[in-house]
Amino acid sequence: MMKAFTKQSLLEADSAFRRDLINSLSGYKSLNLIGTKSKTGQTNLSPFSQVFHIGATPPLVGILFRPHTVERHTLENILQTEYFTLNHVHESFYQQAHQTAARYKGSEFAATGLEETYKNDFFAPFVAGSPVQLACTLVEKQTLQVNGTVLIIASIEEVYVDAEGLRADGSLDLEVLGTVTVSGLDEYYVGKRLAKLSYPKPGKDLEVLI
Amino acid sequence: MMKAFTKQSLLEADSAFRRDLINSLSGYKSLNLIGTKSKTGQTNLSPFSQVFHIGATPPLVGILFRPHTVERHTLENILQTEYFTLNHVHESFYQQAHQTAARYKGSEFAATGLEETYKNDFFAPFVAGSPVQLACTLVEKQTLQVNGTVLIIASIEEVYVDAEGLRADGSLDLEVLGTVTVSGLDEYYVGKRLAKLSYPKPGKDLEVLI
């Protein structure tokens, strides 16, 4: 049985109910920890579920920052220094990743026990043990008129990936990598593969590749 | 062992390898079928992995459209009619969902056997059997300077959700709903819950809620 809501009934619903439902509607979301460092040397780490592919040539990534949220240190550091890292959350540390969203005064690395690490003289810290780590630099910032959401576009300068999860064709095996996905604001999952499918063409049956 | 790539080594790599790797870097992605109808009555259905939360009050959703891709019918229909639907992909029809990305001349509903259905006089077609269905109207369009990617912001006007997967707090149980997630361009997964966690606060241990 389908339960129906109109925009009006959503706006009249309890605000926590509305927030939890609307945040769940897009389905499973990418989960990344963004690592930054302020100009004064204070590191910051925060979970983000709004990271997405913008282009491969050149490699570009986009991130949406909600207006007036706890992640503002991350956005301020990116705008001021132009450097940040993206780090997949491994199932061994998803609870620490969730805890980085608490309103700490100091670094979330120290507070949660996640270890910061540096590579190749890149300014921003990576998360040690993360199976996929990206070094990114700011390219473009846009603010959405509708509600002040900020869209950041960044260049992917370096990629570090656990070799066990990197296939010869370039695709990643997220099960082998132990990458975690999030639903809504607080619910974490790992993936169970259905299949990797062949390129779809009219009149041709799909093949299960893996 | 971590395998490292620089931007330069990615740009020098085989283009298919680069495309598959860069498309995998954000991790698990939301998967939705977008249903549209042209002004002349031709329906269209296409899979999208770039759907994300913009706001809850009012309920808003965002979608990124890559420049010069096969999904242009979808974007054209949205810009011309201002109506579209978002539909979660259930594991029972993920292969048909993948097949809708083939370059059909007619409707992808007829070509793949997915059934179009209409609700409450909304102009665009829903996918029958989808566990989460949204009726959306266009609010704002922005084009990214960096590579012509188009960002659509839309208002969520109606929500239909399988009541079995809707919890009392408003959150969705994506396992019960059978919602599918995608990695890269062609790899499909369902989720296996690790936990739903309590709100993170400094100095307070997290609780596993579910």
Instruction: Verify whether the Cβ–Cβ distance A52 to B29 is below 8 Å.
Output: yes
- Quote the pLDDT of residue B177: 98
Token representation of residue B127: 């996918």
Stretch A105-126: mean pLDDT, rounded? 96
Which domains occur in chain B, in start order?
Answer: 28-190 (2.30.110.10)
Phi, psi dihedral angles at A78 (to 5 degrees):
-65, -45
Of the candidates A140, A120, A65, which has an alpha carbon nearest to the alpha carbon of residue B6?
A: A120
- Quote the pLDDT of residue A114: 98
Percent of chain B with pLDDT over 90: 92
- Quote the pLDDT of residue A167: 98
Is A12 an 8 Å CB contact of chain B? no
Stretch B67-71: mean pLDDT, rounded? 60
User: Under a CB-based contact definition with an 8 Å cutoff, are residues A122 and A83 in contact?
Assistant: yes
Query: Which chain B residue's Cα is nearest to A194?
Result: B189
Average per-residue pLDDT for chain B: 95
Token representation of residue B11: 């740009």
Is B12 an 8 Å CB contact of chain A? no
Alpha helices in chain A (DSSP H): 7-12, 15-24, 72-81, 94-99, 108-112, 174-177
What is the residue-wise DSSP string for B43-91?
A: EEEEEES-EEEEEETTEEEEEEE-TTSTTHHHHHHHHHH-EEEEEEPBG
pLDDT at A70 over 70: no
Q: Which residues of A touch B108 (CB under 8 A)?
A: none
pLDDT at B70 over 80: no
Instruction: Verify whether the Cβ–Cβ distance B172 to A21 is below 8 Å.
Output: yes
pLDDT at A108 over 90: yes
What is the least distance, in Å, from the CA of B106 to any CA of chain A?
11
Best residue in B133, B146, B173 for a mutation probing chain A (most A CBs within 10 Å): B146
Place of tokens 């099960």: A175
What's the pLDDT band for A166 if we cut at 50, 70, 90?
very high
Of A98, A180, A202, the CB nearest to B111: A202
Q: Which residues of A touch B172 (CB under 8 A)?
A: 21, 24-25, 183-184
Of A29, A145, A160, the CB nearest to B140: A145
Of the candidates B21, B201, B132, B135, which has an alpha carbon nearest to the alpha carbon of residue A132?
A: B21
Of A26, A160, A187, the CB nearest to B30: A26
Stretch A78-100: mean pLDDT, rounded? 98
pLDDT at A71 over 60: no
Stretch B41-62: mean pLDDT, rounded? 95
> Letter for the amino acid at A126?
F
What is the least distance, in Å, from the CA of B39 to any CA of chain A?
24
- Quote the pLDDT of residue A55: 92
pLDDT tens per residue, range B24-38: 999 999 999 999 999
- Quote the pLDDT of residue B68: 61
Stretch B166-187: mean pLDDT, rounded? 98
pLDDT tens per residue, range B137-171: 999 999 888 888 999 999 999 999 999 999 999 99
What's the pLDDT band for B69 if we cut at 50, 70, 90?
low
- Quote the pLDDT of residue B135: 98
- Quote the pLDDT of residue A205: 95
Instruction: Verify whether the Cβ–Cβ distance A146 to B60 is below 8 Å.
Output: yes
Reported ipTM: the value is: 0.95
Of A21, A30, A111, the CB nearest to B170: A21
Stretch A149-177: mean pLDDT, rounded? 97
What is the least distance, in Å, from the CA of A39 to any CA of chain B?
24
Stretch B59-81: mean pLDDT, rounded? 86
Token representation of residue A157: 């300068």
User: Under a CB-based contact definition with an 8 Å cutoff, are residues A165 and A190 in contact?
Assistant: no
Of the candidates A130, A169, A150, A160, which has an alpha carbon nearest to the alpha carbon of residue A65?
A: A150
Instruction: Verify whether the Cβ–Cβ distance B59 to A22 is below 8 Å.
Output: yes
H/E stretch holding A126 reads strand A126-127
- Quote the pLDDT of residue A40: 96
What is the least distance, in Å, from the CA of B40 to any CA of chain A?
23
User: Under a CB-based contact definition with an 8 Å cutoff, are residues A47 and A114 in contact?
Assistant: no
Average per-residue pLDDT for chain A: 95
pLDDT at B71 over 70: no
pLDDT tens per residue, range B103-121: 999 999 999 999 999 999 9
What's the pLDDT band for A177 if we cut at 50, 70, 90?
very high
> CA Rg, chain B, in Å?
19
Percent of chain A with pLDDT over 70: 98
